[in-house]
Every structure is written in C-alpha cells, then in structure tokens.
Amino acid sequence: MQATVYDAIVIGSGITGGWAAKELTEQGLSVLMLERGRMVEHGSDYTTAYKEDWQLPFRDRPSLVEARLQAKQARTGYATKQSIKHWFVNDVQHPYYETQRFDWIRGYHLGGRSLTWGRQCLRLSDLDFEANRRDGHGVDWPVRYQDIAPWYDKVERYIGVIGESLGLAQLPDGHFLPPFELNAVEQHFRATLQDNYSQRHLTIGRVAHLTQAKPEQGRAICSKRNRCMRGCPTGSYFSSLASTIPAAQRTGRLTIRANSIAKEIVYDAKSQLATGVKVVDTQTKELLHFNAKIIFCCASTVASTALLLNSKSARFPNGLGNDSGELGHNLMDHHFRVGATAEPTGFDNELRDGDRPVGFHIPRFRNLTPEQKNSQDFVRGYGYQGYATRSDWRRGFKELSYGKQMRESLSKVGPWTIALIGFGECLPYHHNKITLHPSQRDEWGLPVVNFDCQFGENERRMREDMKREAVAMLERAGYNNVQPYDKGSAPGQAIHEMGTARMGHDPRTSVLNKYNQIHSVRNVYVTDGSFMCSSAYQNPSLTYMAFTARAADHAVRHYKNGVFTG
C-alpha cells in the first residue's frame, strides 16, 4: 500500500495521457502517470531511426517467429517489420478473444501509439456533432462545435499542424503551419475536381509535422525522411514523448511509473467518488494502491473501458459508472482499403513526386445537406486520402525480362500512379461491443477482452459509393488504366477504435457527461476514444486531444473549488 496521495492519476501516456499530464501539472497539480509498458527515452531509444533496410535483419521483413508472436499485429501489413516491431505488442503474451474479428493494434511503452500514429489532424464539425440527433443513430452529442473550437485552437497551436484553409463547413479550418507542396500530378487532379465538381476539394493532408521549429519544446523542422514510425529523434512530428510529457516534467510535478497496469479504480460509496487505483507491477506481479483526488482514464478506448468494467463494487456491480448498461457497447472504427488507382500521362518531365511524409486529402462531400441525403442509399459520409507517385528501379523486382534492355529501362524513372483510399464513417451500433471473459485471465490476473463487432449494411453501401466515385473522379481527370479495388476492411484495422464509454445528456443512455466525467463518479474523467458518440469520417486523435485539454481545465477548476459537479 502506497501512502502518497496525488492530486491526480493519469492512466496511459499516449496522445491523451500526455495532454492530461501537461494540463494538470501546468495548473499546479501533482500527477502520477501510470504506463503499463516499458520506459522509453525520446531520441536515444529510437534504435532503428537511422538504419537502412540492409542494416536490419531480413532487410526489414518479418521473421517466421515474429509472424507467430505478433499474428494479430501483423494484420496491419506493416507492424511486424524489423524497424518497428518493438513498438507493437506480443499477441501471445497479450491475448484477446474475437466473437467477430477485431484487429486490436497496441503499443505498450511510454508514449504509446503517439509514436506510431498517422498524424492526421482533422476537426469535426457540427455536421458530425449533430448527426446522431438528425438521423437517429446513437445518442445526441452533448456538445457542439463552438464548445470544442477553442480547444482545437489550443491543441493545434501547441502541437503544430500543417495545412491550408478551405472554408468548408464540414471540415473547419484551424491554425496551420505552412503546408508541404502537392506534386504536379496532384495539382492537376485538384484542378480537374474544381472543374468538374462543385463540392469536391483536394488539399495537402493536415498533419502534425513541423514546418516551423518549436525550440521551446526542443522540436525541429521536419526533415521529411518519411521514417516516422521508427520514432522521430528531432521531435518534428508530435508525440507525447517528445512534447507533452517533457512539458509536464518541466513543472516538477509529474511522477512517471512504467510497468504498471491499472487493474481497478477504487470507489468510495460514502463520498460517491473514486479514491485511487489498484495497480499490478508487471515485473514483480505485486499489487499496489495509489490514491488521488482526480483520475483520468487515457489508456486507449479498449483498455480504459476494460478497466472500468473490471472496477466493480456493491454500487457498481457491472463496472464503474455503468448505470446505463452502455459501458463496452457502441464500439466503432473507420472502414477503408477501398477506392481506385490510375496511371496519369503527360507528366514525363515531372520527376519529383513529393519528398514529404504525407499524402493529399479529399474532404467529405456526401450527405452534406438534406437534399443530398435523399439522393444516397446510406447515411453519413466519407473522405479520401491519397497520393501520386512515380515508380523507380524497384519496379524491376517484378520483371521477367533481363539484359541490356532491362538495365536501360530501369535507369529511367517509371510511370506515374495515383491512388485514392476511402475512409468511411461507421455508425454507433449498440451490438458492437467489448466484454470481459468471465474466467480467462492474462498473466497479470486481468480478465481477457472479447470483441464482438462488425460493419453493417450502411457501411457496405457506403463502400460501393466510395469505390464508384473514386473511379469517376479519376476517369474525369483523363487518366489511364483506372482500376477500382476493395481489399476489405475489418473493425480495428484503421486503429481508430472508439465509442465504448460514450458521453451524452442522459445518464440512462450514456456513461459520461459533456465534460468527460462519469455521470455518477464525477472525479473520474475518460478522455481517450471511449467518449466518442459517433465516429465521423475524420481521423480522431485531434478531437481526443481537444476534449482532454477541455476536461483537464474543468477538473482543475472544480478541484480548486473543492467540488466535482457538472
């Protein structure tokens, strides 16, 4: 039993855990950060960041051993590469069950998945915050864009997001650093969209990469090496390890405890508040108990919800704060891996294909108005991410020819290719859920998670439109060899899992209130993807960070006033 009492405990050290720690410590609170994985030092522990493929085992390809130990992580197609496998878990050591397939992609270490995220930073709009109320799927968001806009501002200014302003209601503009340039083919494709469509726009991806240094954070301009998932030694892309955690440490009020799994949040029936967290030390298996006045759950959607489900008491026999019965339900993820490719011609003199770690983005254009909704056979919408590139000598790997003619061919740049990849919204279905296995435990004594989640008919109809419209746009651009594709998309594969402890107006149908507090346990905040009421089509991490900063501000004000009411 630990005697120290902290002002706050933050469970998790990734995208939201770092923001919670930064905001709470900078406002004077002492914070204990619990990370279930190992310690990682920014920079020095990015062991493959400067290595070439030929310096890595199997030239950066997975071994047969890793294929067995990381079978579910390998579903991404990239997580088991030699250069990044250490950022993803061992599936044998960290098992889970699947009633329906779910690709649970995880990284257990300080900084979490902020070291490997895609860095796309897209704001939600009132089209998204009002969607559930409008079409009857899920529960109404208890907030609107104007409530979150100031917190989007705060986060974007701090982390650094590149982009260009478009003036679109469905994708609000933010505070942008100068963007990377589109290449010649992408510029041509953007012009054809403007000529042929009134509501389709192409822009450079809005990503958390610095094109202007932030010396106060020790972060430099992006050098565009495009090896981001190996760890960024210069901190040029945002991660909690390079940015928010060091900011919290500079206050002198942050204590980090790695190798510490949060097992249970302890509830006191008399005060109707949580008093602390029971923790399993992963190395000694010792059970510890840390006390705090405020608790922030930032362990990621599945882990935080599993923790709440496992935090049972006489008051909460089905999990902490689970009066509504919604805890674990309404699991969502984006669906993707559908679209089209083509071969642009007429760009033989254009040799540069981008020199940057991000592609382009086409914002949502479906179901923006009631009139559009009536013309579609699905609700909600989707966007595209994409890129145009020119092949090099590596195209020779698939050649069957040989000799002088082949050598001369490979000494020249190859043809251009352009690809559109659709990202679609998933509806908040109540039957999509996670549960805890009634008897199976992992090696630390925690119940094993089971997934029961699948995409529905609305997503299937949307995918047909995503593919059809990708083909239409590429054909209108005049490109050759337009090829549709649908490689299938399983829940979890986009690594945007969300929604299992949703917020809402009514405690009878939701777990959290509009400030991310558990309705019935007001000193527990849940600010990772669990709180989401709908998925929208946008990458969600920017929204997680904005809600976390807002919740931390709320928590501090109420803590200093001695109360925890909404």
Name the CATH topology of 5-42+52-120+212-333+431-454+494-560.
FAD/NAD(P)-binding domain (3.50.50)
Closest to 206 measured CA to CA, from 161, 171, 155: 161
**Residue 317, phi then psi, degrees to nearest 5:** -70, -20
- State residue 515's pLDDT score: 98
**Angle in degrees, CA 261, 265, 271, rounded to 5:** 160
State pTM to two decimals: 0.96
Instruction: Please state, in angstroms and as integers, the Cα–Cα distance from residue 362 to each residue in 55, 302, 464, following that order.
Output: 37, 30, 17
H or E segment and range at residue 69: helix 64-69
Please tell me the predicted confidence (pLDDT) of residue 353. Answer: 79
Rg (CA), the chain: 24
**CATH 3.50.50.60-classified regions of the chain:** 5-42+52-120+212-333+431-454+494-560
Which DSSP string do the residues of 182-249 spell out, in sequence order?
P-HHHHHHHHHHHHH-SS---EE--BSB-SS-BGGGTB------S-GGG--TT--B--IIIIIHHHHH
What is the model's pLDDT at position 351? 83
Angstrom CA distances, 106 to 57, 90, 292, 310, stand at: 23, 9, 27, 20
> What phi, psi does 330 have (nearest 5°)?
65, 35
Cα distance between residue 184 and residue 232, in whole Å: 28
At 1 the pLDDT is: 47
- The token duo for 22 is 């930064």
Residue ranges in 477-540 assigned as alpha helix (H): none
Selection from 446, 364, 17 nearest residue 199 by Cα: 364
Tell me whether strands 416-424 and 447-452 are parallel, antiparallel or unpaired.
unpaired
| Three-state SS annotation for 418-485 | EEEEEEECCCCCCCCEEEEEEEEECCCCCEEEEEECCCCHHHHHHHHHHHHHHHHHHHHCCCEEEEEE
Low-confidence ranges of the chain (pLDDT < 70): 1-3, 373-374, 392-412, 563-566
pLDDT of residue 395: 45
Pairing verdict, β 480-486 and 447-452: unpaired
C-beta of residue 62 within 8 angstroms of C-beta of residue 48:
no
Give dist(CA 431, CA 528) in Å, integer.
21
pLDDT of residue 402: 58
Q: What is the 3-state secondary structure (H, E, C) of 303-315?
A: HHHHHHHHCCCCC
CA–CA distance, 305 with 301 (Å, rounded to integer): 6
434 in Cβ contact with 100 (< 8 Å) = no
The rounded distance, in Å, linking the Cα atoms of 538 and 336 is 12
Alpha carbons within 13 A on the beta-carbon side of 29: 29
State how far the Cα of 561 lies from the Cα of 566, in Å rounded to an integer. Answer: 13
Residue 217 · residue 211 · CB < 8 Å: no
Paired with 483 in beta bridges are 341
Distance CA 372, CA 379 (A): 10
Q: Which helix (H) or strand (E) holds 15?
A: helix 15-26
Backbone angles phi, psi at 113, to 5 degrees: -80, 0
Phi and psi torsions of 201, nearest 5°: -130, 145
Euclidean distance between the first and the last CA atom of the chain, given in angstroms as a whole number? 32
Residues 6+ apart with CB under 8 A from 104: 72, 96, 302, 449, 451, 492, 497
Res 145: pLDDT: 98
Q: What is the structure's pLDDT at 65?
A: 83
pLDDT (0 to 100) of residue 403: 67
Q: For residue 170, which amino acid is it?
A: Q
For residue 350, give Cα distances in angstroms to 183, 191, 403.
Answer: 9, 17, 27
pLDDT value at residue 393: 45
Six-digit token string for 72: 């579910």
Rounded distance between C-alpha atoms, residue 498 and residue 166, angstroms: 28
